[in-house]
């Protein structure tokens, strides 16, 4: 049986770094051929959907957007507005609007690149907590850049160089990084969910049940955010290396109520 193959000939919008244009797509309908989205990926085109794709993004435009977003702080709306102007300076409103699709596909593209860099595919085991990101290579890591025998500092007595094998960690939070509650929580899809820098949402919510900050210095912060029911998170906190300032995998959380 032939897999998920739409009509053999289609004209679909293709988003590239140079413009948004329509291109002719002809799928292979031979016996045993790959599904439509796999054929597009093999051609360097990222489909918006896996079933009967109607819009594709080139790998080049996804890489270019991520570079602009990280290095220049370019938002997805501004980036796609630039493509509007490049495609048709006189009539940019006639260019197909694929802004929302760019947001969704860029998130998936970053996840796929992380999985590729860490050797994860559809046949490998699912990555666990923090497996898709790397800890700063210069920080002391037993079995990675220092010997296991030197990792036990309790065995080092009067060694003025023991600080070289110790790891200093600092913790801090940002109370301006607010996140609104989603309109349809059941439709939210977690791509990373604890496999990167952030602690898994489900596990963290289980930990927060029945807990609250008991430190008197944090009571004012707890009370200030107690009535903000429309927020899913009131801030973000994490752990970082004190020497290099690099965040530690699986060591960042969202604040639901002050510093809880």
Q: Residues 6 or more apart from 227 whose CB is under 8 A from it? A: none
Sheet holding 235-241, edge to edge: 169-174, 235-241, 247-255
Exposed, middle or buried by CB within 10 Å (0-12, 13-18, 19+), for 237? Answer: middle
Please state, in angstroms and rounded to a whole number, the distance separating the CA atoms of residues 243 and 139. Answer: 8
DSSP readout, 149-195? Answer: HHH-GGG--S-TTGGGG---EEEEEETT--EEPPS-GGG---SSSSS
Supply the pTM of this predicted model. 0.73
Please state, in angstroms and rounded to a whole number, the distance separating the CA atoms of residues 148 and 72. Answer: 41
Q: Residues 6 or more apart from 142 whose CB is under 8 A from it? A: 148, 150, 151
Nearest CA-CA partner of 15 in 90, 67, 108, 81: 81
- Per-residue pLDDT reduced to its tens digit, 23-72: 888 888 888 888 888 999 999 999 998 888 889 999 999 999 999 999 99
Please state, in angstroms and rounded to a whole number, the distance separating the CA atoms of residues 38 and 3. Answer: 11
**78-84: average pLDDT:** 93
pLDDT at position 139 is 81
Task: Please check the confidence at residue 116 and state whether its pLDDT lies above 50.
Answer: yes
Please state, in angstroms and rounded to a whole number, the distance separating the CA atoms of residues 202 and 190. Answer: 10
- Per-residue pLDDT reduced to its tens digit, 135-176: 888 887 777 777 766 555 555 445 555 667 777 888 888 887
Name the 3-class secondary structure at 211: coil
pLDDT at position 221 is 52
């Amino acid at each position: 049986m032939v897999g998920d193959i739409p009509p053999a000939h289609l004209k679909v919008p293709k988003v590239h770094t140079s413009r948004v244009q329509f291109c002719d797509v002809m799928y292979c309908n031979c016996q045993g051929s790959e599904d439509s989205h796999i054929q597009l990926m093999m051609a360097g085109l990222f489909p918006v959907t896996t079933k009967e794709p109607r819009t594709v993004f080139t790998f080049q435009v996804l890489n270019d957007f991520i570079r602009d977003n990280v290095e220049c702080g370019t938002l997805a709306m501004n980036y796609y507005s630039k493509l509007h102007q490049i495609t048709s300076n006189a009539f940019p409103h006639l260019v197909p609007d694929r802004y929302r699709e760019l947001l969704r596909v860029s998130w998936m593209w970053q996840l796929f690149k992380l999985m590729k860099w860490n050797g994860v595919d559809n046949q490998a085991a699912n990555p666990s907590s923090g497996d898709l990101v790397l800890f700063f290579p210069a920080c002391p890591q037993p079995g990675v850049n220092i010997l296991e025998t030197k990792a036990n500092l309790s065995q080092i007595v009067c060694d003025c160089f023991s600080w070289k094998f110790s790891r200093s960690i600092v913790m801090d939070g940002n109370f301006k990084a607010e996140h609104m509650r989603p309109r349809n929580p059941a439709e939210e899809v977690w791509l990373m969910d604890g496999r990167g820098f952030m602690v898994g949402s489900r596990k963290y919510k289980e930990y927060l049940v029945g807990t609250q900050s008991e430190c008197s210095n944090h009571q004012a912060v707890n009370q200030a955010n107690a009535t903000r029911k429309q927020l899913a998170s009131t801030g973000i906190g994490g752990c970082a290396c004190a020497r290099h300032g690099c965040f530690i995998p699986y060591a960042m959380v969202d604040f639901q109520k002050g510093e809880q």
